[in-house]
Amino acid sequence: MPAFHPPLGCPVNSPTITGNLRDLLAREIKAAELLRALIVVGPMVAAYFIARETALLNLGLVAVSLLIPALRLQLPPKVVAWHYLAILVTFAALFLAAPVKPLFVVLTALAGFLAVAGTRHGEHFRTLGNWVFIPAVYLACEVREGVSPSEALRHAGVIIASSPIALALVCAIQIYDQRRRGDAAVTSFGPPADEWLLPALATAMAVFAAAALVEILDLAQGQWVMWSAASVVVGDLTASTGKLKQRAIGAFVGVPLGFLAGMALPASRVGYAVAVLAATLTLISFSRYVLGFGLRCFFIALAASFAGGASGIAEERIVNVLIGGTFGLIAVAVTDIVWQRMVRKDRLSG
């Protein structure tokens, strides 16, 4: 019997292509985390459409900042509540200190130090500390950007007053997941980190320098400088350099693409809200950091475009990522050099 030859153009490989695409998406996208993030952030976007209150979009960052450690560390609701209080207290302290620039710089550096110093009691405290530092610093800067003090105070008040909704949604998800798994809520933050002081000091130094530069030069979107400075302090100089490279790639690719997409689309409140929602979801939805960060940069530039100001925001985003990351690398290098010298002196004196 002669062999069968499919007609030219017959998509014989389409099932394989579809299967490969499905496998790729399954590897890159954390579907379960994405669904849960939509549950906690989606209501904030819906409330924004109803109330036309921008502060409700910023509340989405609080919600996802509570959700990320809760899912990764399987935190019970009681610990989620303590995490929530830590975010609010840190945010309130930085927000109130913002008019006094030296005080704001010192408190921001202290927040960065504490975010890492918690690893002294368990290495997984770094995850919890990061997601106190990031939303507190971001919101403390964001709510004051380009508005009067009275409007900033009102904005902060709306976030704080509405924030129990975010807490309730995250706790509900944790209760559901724990009941579905049928396990007892046992909180463990892992073994204490042997070397916690050096990265904590490096983070404090990097954040101090970044915050000081932001305040001295009055940089717009300065929260990205401080966030980036703390983000790259992840270990030794090699690891920190690798983290900065990923952030730089994400910014250089994502921001221009977001800007170009925004140029092709008209300004829109709906588009702005969807882009902000998508940017928030990238914090939790992707397995590879560089992909998530690149898409986050894309959606931030796109959101700025929908709001009518993408060009300036896009440029600031790239510059701020690089400046903050450079401060982080310098801080890691300096603390390592000082530490090595101290070790050598101890050996010689011994």
**What is the pLDDT at residue 21?**
66
Q: Is 29 helix (H, G, I), strand (E, B) or coil?
A: strand
What percent of the chain has a predicted confidence (pLDDT) above 70?
88
Classify residue 183 by its DSSP letter: -
**Contact assessment for residue 259 and residue 144, using Cβ atoms and an 8 Å cutoff:** no
pLDDT tens-digit map of 312-323: 566 777 889 899
pLDDT tens-digit map of 28-80: 888 899 999 999 999 998 888 888 888 888 899 999 999 999 999 999 999 99
Taking Cα atoms as reference points, which of 28, 78, 13 lies closest to residue 290? 28
pLDDT tens-digit map of 189-248: 888 888 899 999 999 999 999 999 999 998 888 888 998 999 999 877 888 889 989 999
* In the predicted structure, residue 1 carries a pLDDT above the cut 50: no
pLDDT tens-digit map of 325-348: 999 999 999 988 887 777 666 666
pTM of the model: 0.89
**N-to-C CA span, the chain:** 88
**Contact assessment for residue 226 and residue 213, using Cβ atoms and an 8 Å cutoff:** no
CA distance 56 to 277: 11
**What is the pLDDT at residue 3?**
52
CA distance 149 to 295: 32
Classify residue 121 by its DSSP letter: G
pLDDT tens-digit map of 86-133: 999 999 999 999 999 999 999 999 999 999 999 999 999 999 999 999
The better pLDDT of the pair 120, 9 is held by: 120
